[in-house]
Amino acid sequence: MKKFVLLLFLELFLSPFFYGQILTINSGASISVASGSAITLDGLEIAPSEAYEILGNNNVYRSVTAVSNNSNTSVSRVYNTLNLLTNFKGTLTFSYLEDELNDITESDLVLQLKGEDDRWVSYAANVNETQNTVSYTFNEAVSFKSVTAGAADASLSIEDANTINHNFVVYPNPTANKIFIKADNLLQAELFDINGRKVGSTKNNQLNMSHLSIGSYILRIKTEKKAVKSIKIIKL
């Protein structure tokens, strides 16, 4: 397979860092990957079966924090995008290190993608234990914003929401884009940076964080019952 990328109207930044932001495509720019070619983003290979275009404004981040839901966990490598990658056909190959497995048996690994509805879907993938890769070929178009690998019988789905108590739920957390808030009689939700400055607020059940810098924030939720709860939000 040819390993090159055709760049169209491209403003591209590839980070030299081991994790964090690894790709930026500015607004108005794009990356076009020809059929039979591939682009590798710090261990995630995207090889379309037909010409595929990644449009800006978009970023790709690599996290070393596993996705977890109760006792279920992914490997300690997760790729997140600022905006959804839509209608992809072709092969995704996910590379991992053995010390990222979190006690998951390699032969049990599956590829896991998170879609627009924030639910994780597992795909029975081809595992190459010699090369430490998990790959799956999508013959039908798929859209996704996060990629990781985990055990075949371990669900990471929206149950990975961050529950404050029975009346408050905030998800996904960490997030690269929006957070969704489930609260009885929500009055207002306010978001503060680590210096205590308010950087966002909403009276609805979602808050857009895509424009904010990577880091930690505090979400303060107020309800009509005078309840006030605070929760730490990680922005990818």
The domain that holds 210 is classified in CATH as: 2.60.40.1930
Answer yes or no: is pLDDT of 226 > 50: yes
Q: Are residues 53 and 147 in the same domain?
A: yes
Number of Cβ within a 10 Å radius of residue 178: 14
Mean of pLDDT values over 115-124: 84
48-62, 103-117, 119-133, 150-164: the lowest-pLDDT one: 150-164
Answer yes or no: is pLDDT of 18 > 60: no
Q: Do the Cβ atoms of 210 and 199 come closer than 8 Å?
A: no
The domain that holds 104 is classified in CATH as: 2.60.220
Q: Are residues 77 and 132 in the same domain?
A: yes
What confidence category does residue 89 fall into, taking pLDDT thresholds of 50, 70 and 90? very high
Last residue of a domain, one of 151, 182, 200: 151
Select the more confidently predicted residue: 48 or 233.
Answer: 48
Q: Are residues 47 and 132 in the same domain?
A: yes
Q: Are residues 82 and 194 in the same domain?
A: no
Q: Are residues 134 and 192 in the same domain?
A: no
C-alpha 10/C-alpha 23 separation (Å) is 12
In tens, the pLDDT along 55-84 reads 999 999 998 888 877 668 899 999 999 899
> Which residues have C-beta within 8 Å of that of residue 74, sequence separation ≥ 6?
66, 67, 68, 102, 112, 148, 149, 150, 154, 156
* DSSP H or E segment with residue 149: strand 133-151
User: Is 89 a member of any domain?
Assistant: yes
Residue whose entry in the numeric block shows the structure tokens 């990644």:
54
Q: Do the Cβ atoms of 21 and 58 come closer than 8 Å?
A: no
Q: Do the Cβ atoms of 19 and 79 come closer than 8 Å?
A: no
pLDDT at 3: 42
Strands 133-151 and 78-95: antiparallel
* DSSP H or E segment with residue 206: strand 206-208
* Selection from 40-54, 60-74, 105-119, 185-199 with the highest mean pLDDT: 40-54
> Which residues have C-beta within 8 Å of that of residue 13, sequence separation ≥ 6?
23, 24
Domain carrying residue 85? 6-151
Q: Helix, strand, or coil here: 53?
A: strand
In tens, the pLDDT along 162-192 reads 444 446 788 888 888 888 888 878 889 999 8
Strand order in the sheet with 215-223: 198-202, 186-192, 215-223, 228-235
The pTM assigned to this predicted structure is 0.62
User: Is 156 a member of any domain?
Assistant: no
Q: Are residues 117 and 69 in the same domain?
A: yes
pLDDT at 12: 39
User: Is 181 a member of any domain?
Assistant: yes
What confidence category does residue 103 fall into, taking pLDDT thresholds of 50, 70 and 90? very high
Q: Are residues 168 and 80 in the same domain?
A: no
Q: What's the token pair of residue 2?
A: 């040819």
Answer yes or no: is pLDDT of 29 > 50: yes
Number of domains within the chain: 2
C-alpha 94/C-alpha 182 separation (Å) is 33
Answer yes or no: is pLDDT of 5 > 60: no
- 17 phi-psi bin (left φ>0, alpha ψ -120 to 50, beta other): beta
Q: Are residues 147 and 168 in the same domain?
A: no
Answer yes or no: is pLDDT of 130 > 60: yes
- Mean of per-residue pLDDT scores for the chain: 83
Q: Are residues 61 and 126 in the same domain?
A: yes
Last residue of a domain, one of 98, 131, 151: 151
Last residue of a domain, one of 151, 185, 201: 151
User: Is 178 a member of any domain?
Assistant: yes
Q: Do the Cβ atoms of 146 and 173 come closer than 8 Å?
A: no
Kindly give the residue spans of alpha helices, DSSP state H, lying in the chain.
none
Q: Are residues 169 and 118 in the same domain?
A: no
Q: Are residues 228 and 165 in the same domain?
A: yes
pLDDT at 195: 67
C-alpha 136/C-alpha 40 separation (Å) is 15
Answer yes or no: is pLDDT of 197 > 70: yes
User: Is 1 a member of any domain?
Assistant: no
Max CA separation in the chain (angstroms): 61
Q: Are residues 64 and 136 in the same domain?
A: yes
